[in-house]
Amino acid sequence: MLRRTILKTAAAIALAANMGNVVGAELAGSVNYIIPFGPGGESDISARFQQPFFKEKFKQDLVISYQPGGGGAVGWASLNGLSGNGQTIMGVNLPHIVIKPAQKDVGFTTADLNTFYMFHYTPDAIVVTADSPYQTLDDLIADAKANPGEVTMSGSGKASANHLAQIKFDKLAGILTTYVPFKGTGAAVTALLGKQTKAEWGYTTVGAKQGDAVRMLAVAMDERHPLFPDVPTFKELGYDMTGGAYRGIALPNTADAATTRMWSDMIGEINSDEAFRQQMLDGGFAMLDVGIDDMADFMAARVEEYLDDARKAGLIK
C-alpha cells in the first residue's frame, strides 16, 4: 500500500514535470481502438464499457474496430507499424502476448508491446450446468479420480488462459481431465449448455452472463467475487490458484513518454469511476489498476509465471 502511494506520488510529480517541460500531450480527434479479435468476446465487451465513459470524460470518440487473425497475433504484429501520435491504441491480452511469441516467431515479442495499462481480468472458474451432478468442486474431483480422463471440460483455445488453468488445476488436485478446445468462450459455453462436455473452464463472466443456467464450482480469486458471494475460491478449498485472463491496452512503441503518460492517466481515470467499476463487476469482471509506472514489475512477474506454467505443461520448450 505504502509502495503504491509512493509510486502514485512519484507519478504525479513526474506528470507535473512533464506538463511543465513538454507541451502536455493532447488528443487531436477521435481515437481508433483496435481489438485484435472478433466482436463479442471479453476484450470487446470491456472496451464497449469504456467507450461511453471515454466520450464523457475526454470529449472524443473511441472508435472500436476488429482485426482478428492468428489469435490476436496479426494485430499485435502490426501495432508498432501504426502511428504513435496517440490516436491509435490496441487491446492486449495476457497470457496471449506471452505464450504466442514463446511458441514461435509471430512477428512480435512481449517486450515489443508498449502496454501502458492493464485494466481488468476475468478470473478463471469451473462452470457446470445448473442440473449437473457436480454440486461442489469435490464432486468433480471425485468423478475425475474414479474415471481418469473421462471428465471432459470445454474451454477457449489451446495454450490459452483456460487451458493453462486446466493443466494447473489437474496437477494441484492430482486428477486427469480432458480439455476440449473451442473457438472462443461463446462456443465453449454453448458446448457446456448443450452437454457436449461435463464442465467448462471459463471465467466469472460466464457466470454473470448465464445466470441461473449455470453453477460455478470455484473461482481463482484471492477473495470471493462480489457478484457471487456463494461461490468459493480455489484457495478456500485448499488449491493455491488465482488468476485468469488479463486485459490491457498498448500504444505503438513510437509514442513519446508524454503521450503514453496521458493515456495511462486517462484509462486510470475511467477505471476509478465508480459507475464504470460497478458495470464491470456486474458483468463478472474483476478490476485491475496497473498503470505505466507499475507495468514493468507486473509484466515481469506475469511473464515468469506464464512461461513457467507453459513449460511445465509442455506447451513450449
Partner 1 sequence: MQVRLYSRFAGRHRGEFALELSQFLAAITPFNIALALFGVVAGTVVGSIPGLTATMALAVLVPVTFSMEPASALILLGAIYTGAIYGGAYAAILLNTPGTPSAIATTFDGYPMAKRGDGDLAVAIACFASVFGGLVGALSLLLLAPPLSKVALAFGPVEYFWLSIFGLSLIASLSNGNLVKGLTGGAFGMLLSTVGVAEISADIRLTFGSQTMIGGFGVVGALIGLYCIPVLIDLVAVPDRHLKVEENVKSVRIGDAFRLTLRSKFNLIRSSVIGTLVGILPGAGGSVAGLVAYSEAKRTAKPDQNFGEGEPDGIMATESANSATVGGGFIPTLVLGIPGTPPDAIVLGALLVQGVRTGPAMFTQSGSIVYTFIYGLLIATILMLPAGLLIGRYAYKSIVTIPKAVLVPAVGFMTIIGTFSIRNSVSDVIIMLCLGVFGWVVARFGFAASPIVLGLILGPIAEQGFVQGWTIGAATNNLFGMFFGRPISQGILLFTLITLVLPLYLARKKRKAAMEAK
Please give the angle made by the CA atoms of 80, 84 and 88, to the nearest 5 degrees: 90
Nearer to partner 1, 71 or 291 (CB): 71
Question: Are the CB atoms for 244 and 126 separated by under 8 Å?
Answer: no
Q: What character string, x for contact with partner 1 (CB under 8 A) and - otherwise, covers 193-232?
A: xxxxx-----------xxxxx-------------------
Among 125, 141, 175, 189, interactor with partner 1 by CB under 8 A: 189
Q: What character string, x for contact with partner 1 (CB under 8 A) and - otherwise, covers 135-174?
A: --------------xx-x----xxxx--------------
> CA-CA distance, 179 to 136, in Å (whole number)?
19
SS3 120: strand
How many C-beta neighbours within 10 Å does residue 44 have? 16
Contacting range for partner 1; rule: CB under 8 A; set: 20-28, 39-47, 232-240, 286-294:
39-47
For residue 1, the number of C-alpha atoms closer than 13 Å in the C-beta half-sphere is 0
Among 14, 15, 27, 44, interactor with partner 1 by CB under 8 A: 44
Look-up of cell digits 462480489 = 226
Decide: is 63 part of the binding site for partner 1 (CB under 8 A): yes
Nearer to partner 1, 48 or 235 (CB): 48
> What is the nearest approach in angstroms of partner 1 to the Cβ of residue 169?
17
> CA-CA distance, 237 to 6, in Å (whole number)?
35
Closest CA to 66 of 177, 184, 176, 156: 184
> CA-CA distance, 210 to 184, in Å (whole number)?
16
Cα dihedral sign for 132, 177, 285, 52?
Answer: negative
Decide: is 84 part of the binding site for partner 1 (CB under 8 A): no
> What is the nearest approach in angstroms of partner 1 to the Cβ of residue 152?
5
> What is the nearest approach in angstroms of partner 1 to the Cβ of residue 295?
26
For partner 1, the binding residues (CB under 8 A) are 38-41, 44-45, 48-49, 51-52, 55, 61-71, 73-75, 77-78, 100, 103-107, 149-150, 152, 157-160, 178, 180-183, 186-187, 189-191, 193-197, 209-213, 279, 283
